[in-house]
């Protein structure tokens, strides 16, 4: 699937923090700026594939609401992990689910339609009334995300999209996790480098990029949230 990440930055965002050679500090600075700028119109989404974004956001903006899109196909380990982090760090987690009447097993025949109904539509509802959206995109995730901007205008959803971890490498993640003693996702030591829905996620093999276990063999690289 072709990456079409928009990189339009409106002139009225000229006050946004610039990226520096310290991506960890940059993440805190841009989140604090976003909170000052957008207040309660800010929507932070985290997949809870790891603890990093949820923790960074809660450190930068104490008490911030963090939205989890529960597709109905999350690994049981992800559901447990999100609840464990919620209790451990007193996170304010909002869970947004798809329509309860959706057809089952669409993933078996049409993964795009499944993602549209179980990820994109719930995100659109989560963003109602919001003017800005924080995600956990990292440029080092995969080739399709290599140009992910730090802050830009998401033309599709008409929100300011903020990717505080855009400049983070695996080394930054390891440093941050060690500094704060963050737990790993239970599937991390089983080879799952990027954790999505159980029907479409497999462990990553040596030499593969982190997202190669998602929709493996299909040519699909994104679920539709970040197009």
223 is catalytic: yes
129-155 burial, b at 16+ Cβ within 10 Å, e below that, comes to ebebbbbbbbbbbbebbeebbbbbbbe
Q: Are strands 151-154 and 42-45 parallel, antiparallel or unpaired?
A: unpaired
Q: Please answer whether residues 58 and 178 qualify as being in contact, where contact means their C-beta atoms are separated by less than 8 angstroms.
A: no
> How far is residue 29 from each of residues 5, 23, 25, 44, 218, measured CA to CA in Å?
23, 10, 6, 15, 38
Side-chain half-sphere CA neighbours of 107 within 13 A: 17
Helix (H, G, I), strand (E, B) or coil at 92: strand
**Cα(76)–Cα(74) distance, integer angstroms:** 6
- Nearest alpha carbon to residue 53 among 137, 144, 141, 127: 137
Catalytic position from the list 43, 115, 197, 223: 223
Tell me which residues are annotated as active site: 223
């Amino acid at each position: 699937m072709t990456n079409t990440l928009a990189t339009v930055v409106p002139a009225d965002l000229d006050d946004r923090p610039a990226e520096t050679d310290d991506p960890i500090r940059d993440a805190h600075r841009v989140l604090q700026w976003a909170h000052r700028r957008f207040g309660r119109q800010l929507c932070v989404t985290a997949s809870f594939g790891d603890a990093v974004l949820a923790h960074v956001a809660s450190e930068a903006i104490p008490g911030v609401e963090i939205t989890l899109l529960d597709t109905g196909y999350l690994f049981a380990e992800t559901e447990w992990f999100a609840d464990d982090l919620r209790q451990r760090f007193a996170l304010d987690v909002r869970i947004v689910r798809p329509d309860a009447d959706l057809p089952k097993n669409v993933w078996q025949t049409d993964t795009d339609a499944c993602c549209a109904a179980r990820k994109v539509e719930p995100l659109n509802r989560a963003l109602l009334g919001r003017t800005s959206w924080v995600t956990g995109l990292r440029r080092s995730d995969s080739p399709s995300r290599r140009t992910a901007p730090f802050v830009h205008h998401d033309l599709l959803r008409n929100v300011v999209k903020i990717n505080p971890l855009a400049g983070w490498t695996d080394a930054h993640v390891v440093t941050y996790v060690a500094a704060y003693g963050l737990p790993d996702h239970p599937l991390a030591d089983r080879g799952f480098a990027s954790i999505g829905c159980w029907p479409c996620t497999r462990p990553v093999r040596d030499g593969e990029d982190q997202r190669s276990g998602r929709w493996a063999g299909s040519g699909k690289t994104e679920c539709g949230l970040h197009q």
